[in-house]
Amino acid sequence: MSKNGKLYVFTGPSGTGKGTILSQVLKQDKRLFLSVSATTRAPREGETHGKHYYFLDKQTFEDKINKGEFLEHAQYIGNYYGTLEQPVNEQLKSGNDVVLEIEVQGAMQIHEKRPDAVMIFVAPPSIEELERRLIGRGTENAEKIAARMKTAEEELKQSDKFDYIIVNDDLDCAIADLLAILRAERCRNSKL
Amino acid sequence: MSKNGKLYVFTGPSGTGKGTILSQVLKQDKRLFLSVSATTRAPREGETHGKHYYFLDKQTFEDKINKGEFLEHAQYIGNYYGTLEQPVNEQLKSGNDVVLEIEVQGAMQIHEKRPDAVMIFVAPPSIEELERRLIGRGTENAEKIAARMKTAEEELKQSDKFDYIIVNDDLDCAIADLLAILRAERCRNSKL
């Protein structure tokens, strides 16, 4: 079979648990591959270049923007994030499914450029619960959390442009939802 | 929540195992309810009126057609099959999902009347395998099997009008596919 893989965009406000959901799903679904994003933000503890992100300096990132090498890119709290186009297309051509875990701003760019992409939004059960989770994470000060909450409220307004919405109330349910979406999409009639 | 249920149309050529798949899925998915069809064909052993089918005589069936009480109806190898509209709508309004297990001819009528219906087609791995299964069932003579095969070939041409195609190569996989489709559809964004 020379059938192309499918492109998935997986997004949601910071703190909704999209990273946790996706890492579990990637272990269970062997036909799905994670696209590695590029970013100018500093690596967090345990993050490896080329695995979690391509960590680029600002100048290099901007050069690649100007050369049109990004499928999407966005600025988010002072840093660039983006997806290089070529490695994604190579994976899809080889028949693998590819998922991009990106910020909402970048997701909307993909939506415009790639109408074939399956758009999935992870939502918190409520905006109050999201704030509790961000505070509980303990990695950011009150000012940064306030900025994230403001962004999250804007992002939640975008959710109605997505194909699927997963409400992450219970982690196991959210994982099962994403696995089901992938399985169902493989039965979807591509001729429609 | 006063959210309406979703309507599913589940079809495929005779002998593809759609009845077996659906009966297993109905045991596992408690939010899905089977619509009971009406038919003029004779009950098979173990079939109960009002549970497996509403067994109607030809005159009664035609009266109900004329009164417009059917959501769909079809003739198939000399018998009428149909779905009464009112019980389906009542289930949907109460928030339950409803699945119609019907012949392909009837499914295409639903597709026209109810664009909101999720259309699922069960296909055999191959036309040769379908014939083996029909012969193996041992319930019909060669002439009837030949008629079913001719119908099946026509029906397979309709499959590209469906939202999902489940290839029933392995029964457990086909059951998992249908369960995944139901779960994924519950995450689908109804605002799109």
Query: Looking at beta carbons, which residues of chain A come within 8 Å of B191?
Result: 160
Interval B11-36: pLDDT, tens: 999 889 999 999 999 999 999 999 98
In the structure, what pLDDT confidence band is assigned to residue A2 with cuts at 50, 70 and 90?
low
Q: What is the ipTM of this complex?
A: 0.85
Residue A150 lies in a domain: yes
A82 CA to chain B: closest CA distance, Å?
Answer: 26
Q: Is A27 exposed, middle or buried (0-12, 13-18, 19+ CB in 10 A)?
A: exposed
Residue B21's φ and ψ, nearest 5 degrees, are -55, -50
| Residue A115 in domain | yes
CATH number at residue B19: 3.40.50.300
Q: Is A187–B176 a contact, with Cβ atoms under 8 angstroms apart?
A: no
Residues of chain B with Cβ-Cβ distance to A159 below 8 Å are 189
The answer to whether the beta carbons of residues B49 and B160 sit under 8 Å apart is no
Measured between CA atoms, how close is B73 to chain A, in angstroms?
25
- Give Rg (Cα) of chain B: 16
- Out of B121, B163, B176, whose CB is closest to A183? B176
**pLDDT tens track for A48-72:** 998 888 999 999 999 999 999 999 9
Q: What's the domain range around A158?
A: 7-185
User: Within 13 Å and on the Cβ side, how many CA atoms surround A191?
Assistant: 8
Q: Are A133 and A124 in contact (CB under 8 A)?
A: yes
Which H or E element spans position B144?
helix B142-157
* Band of residue A1 on the pLDDT scale cut at 50, 70, 90: very low
CB pairs under 8 A between A and B: 63
Q: What are the structure tokens assigned to B186, written together? A: 């519950």
What is the total count of domains within chain A?
1
Q: Which chain B residue has the Cα nearest residue A181?
A: B184
Residue A14 counted as domain residue: yes
Is residue B80 in a domain?
yes
Domain contains B86: yes
Q: What is the pLDDT at residue B2? A: 53
Is residue B1 situated within a structural domain? no
- Is B17 domain-assigned? yes
Q: What is the mean pLDDT of residues B35-44?
A: 93
Q: Is residue A190 part of a domain?
A: no
Q: Determine the pLDDT at residue A75.
A: 86
- Residue among B164, B187, B188 minimizing CB distance to A189: B164
Distance from the Cα of B68 to chain A's closest Cα (Å) equals 31
Convert the pLDDT of each residue in A123-146 to its tens digit.
999 999 999 988 888 888 889 899
* Residue B72: half-sphere exposure toward Cβ, Cα within 13 Å: 24
